[in-house]
Structure 1
């Protein structure tokens, strides 16, 4: 019964706040994030992130990235592959260096500083996707590059995290971890190779089966099965489930059922699961014990935002983007969201950071995530004005 109460409160609050945010020209996703902060442990304490809400949020981000893949132009993604790789590489290296220096300045040990830098190397593109969709810019040059770079960024973050964990173990543990790292890398390569098979044969075959089923929305059901299946396998090989969901959307977008599936899946996602996901990020926020670390949080947030903005933006500039477009691409990579929170949780459980630092890092992640939609909206508006 508590789940029904929580869902009612979340949907009511996000509906009202989203309406007024849109009315005054603020991305609705900002309102949803702030709802989580206000009604969660940070302020009113009406909601906490229960296991049930976490499950709804997980489905929400999977559906969101599936829709992003569904509405993406595969030819544009291929065309902007090189810029995406450059954006991802510099968008990882510069934040790693910048955040590591922050750790050293605040006298964290080497392992903790390295781990924090890995946390802020990650990008959560789901929030950027929502802003780009609101602005009808998902298939723009900037939007396509952001989507492509986010996938590469995710793979790089997983590899760096695996290397870090393997190098902080004992001699025996390091050997085992190195073997696991090699195996994981091979599994991920096989996974990406298998995506071609899914796009070329499996997705069209599943859609054909769905169209022949004597049940309502057969094609949509088969598309959801493919989405959840690819998300699950992505997690098995050490990738984020959103990577699998995104490529499942790409696969379905190449079939005749694209419009039908898109028409059916959006109401399900946006009416229930996606708002819960955005609220869940705000629910992670807590002000307990943060008073003495406000300086650390402020510096970490500023460096996290600027290093990603400048690093990813520099990658776009090297790829031939204009100054305004480079800023927009950088802004689209600033959001850390669930990817950074997941990596932080892994490190906390592995005792790679203290409890007090963990709370401060979560606060910095959420602050950077809250700033990201404003930056992206502002920079994309500049791109449009420059083009006029």
Structure 2
């Protein structure tokens, strides 16, 4: 039965992804919406399952490998300063602002601090998808975003480990760092003379199978009825999820000497939280830091930022020379 439901999710996410591109949106936006529509939030056709989780995890790793295959290591080194400034400012802004906003809405200080840790992360996979659609992965902007996103996630993983040591939780495990390991493997694999063929085969397989399931499965985590009394907080926190990364990372890029349009596009490219933020939130949930209700609230804001980011990126990328 799990296989049948996963095939249903795959078919619907592919259809929604196609529709999104016809409407001028990023494919991933349609696939995320598909998960919300068919999942517990609306139609209840598909529920998250263990098999779906395994396939989604594989999709994340394949996305990271593909990102590494498309990433010029020399260009990453050449743009390390910009990536470092971008990542640092992109982590500091949510880490400082989110706990304050969460405290205003009545969360306990431990939970408020964890909001900041979760939203310090950046989703590489969502950004990769949009950059790939626009043919910008091999550019300076693409190198800075990818480098900054990797640094962001490393810092976020260190933060959640430190948090777990002081407050409690499961800490840093192999599943948490696997996406970064997969990215590094892809960078190494790029040195192969057959890297272009490997990338083409991997992209074709992923785009028609595990990638839509991964993006759709994020949408399956939304349940609206538990959030009816906290929707104002969700809207405000979503605004700050977007603003802290957009302005924080954008300012960091400008500090490194990049022009305004490139800085704005990089800021937008850092807005999406996606899989890494979900991993960190899951650490909080399984470690007893977050209740089911707070976990659901965090997931909603993660998904909202993930939906908004591609919509911001597309017009801003077009302004970059």
Q: CA deviation at 1:361?
A: 1.5
CA displacement, residues 156-206 of structure 1 (integer Å, 9 cap, x when unaligned): 01111111122225xxxxxxx9xx99xx7xxxxxxxxxxxxxxxxxxxxxx
Q: Which has the larger radius of gyration?
A: 1
SS of 1:240's partner is helix
Q: CA deviation at 1:249?
A: 0.8
- Mapped partners of 2:238, 2:23: distance in 1: 26
Aligned to 2:311: 374
- Mapped partners of 2:70, 2:164: distance in 1: 36
Aligned to 1:30: 29
SS of 1:289's partner is helix
CA displacement, residues 200-224 of structure 1 (integer Å, 9 cap, x when unaligned): xxxxxxxxxxxxxxxxxxxxxxxxx
Contact 1:83 1:319 in 2 (8 A): yes
Q: 2:221 aligns with which of 275, 278, 284?
A: 284
Aligned to 1:207: none
1:356 correspondence with 2:270: no
- Mapped partners of 1:14, 1:359: distance in 2: 22
1:302 correspondence with 2:301: no
- Mapped partners of 2:83, 2:176: distance in 1: 18
Contact 2:251 2:263 in 1 (8 A): yes
Contact 1:36 1:280 in 2 (8 A): yes
Aligned to 2:206: 269
1:240 correspondence with 2:165: no
Contact 1:68 1:246 in 2 (8 A): yes
Q: CA deviation at 1:239?
A: 4.8
Contact 1:42 1:287 in 2 (8 A): yes
- Mapped partners of 2:73, 2:229: distance in 1: 48
SS of 2:229's partner is helix
- Mapped partners of 1:350, 1:91: distance in 2: 26
Q: 2:271 aligns with which of 334, 338, 353?
A: 334
CA displacement, residues 122-176 of structure 1 (integer Å, 9 cap, x when unaligned): 111100100000000011111110100111111101111111122225xxxxxxx
Aligned to 2:253: 316
CA displacement, residues 267-313 of structure 1 (integer Å, 9 cap, x when unaligned): 22112111111101111111022110011101111111100111111
Contact 2:20 2:27 in 1 (8 A): yes
Contact 2:246 2:270 in 1 (8 A): yes
- Mapped partners of 1:364, 1:127: distance in 2: 15
* Structure 1 segments of 4+ aligned residues over 3 angstroms from their partners: none
Give the TM-score normalised by the residue count of structure 2. 0.95
Q: CA deviation at 1:19?
A: 2.1
> Which runs of 5 or more structure 1 residues have no equivalent in the other structure?
170-176, 185-234
User: How many equivalent residue pairs?
Assistant: 321
- Mapped partners of 2:125, 2:203: distance in 1: 15
1:197-212 maps to which residues of 2 (within 5 A)? none
What root-mean-square deviation, in Å, do the aligned CA atoms of Structure 1 and Structure 2 show?
Answer: 1.7
1:259 correspondence with 2:258: no
Aligned to 1:150: 149
- Mapped partners of 1:8, 1:302: distance in 2: 34
Give the TM-score normalised by the residue count of structure 1. 0.79
> Which runs of 5 or more structure 2 residues have no equivalent in the other structure?
none
Q: CA deviation at 1:109?
A: 1.9
Q: 1:107/1:18 Cα in 2 relative to 1: closer, same or farther (>3 Å)?
A: closer
CA displacement, residues 321-340 of structure 1 (integer Å, 9 cap, x when unaligned): 11111111111111111111
Contact 1:13 1:35 in 2 (8 A): yes
SS of 2:230's partner is helix
Q: CA deviation at 1:350?
A: 2.3
- Mapped partners of 1:366, 1:264: distance in 2: 29
Contact 2:39 2:45 in 1 (8 A): yes
1:83 correspondence with 2:82: yes
Aligned to 1:60: 59
1:249 correspondence with 2:186: yes
- Mapped partners of 1:367, 1:240: distance in 2: 24
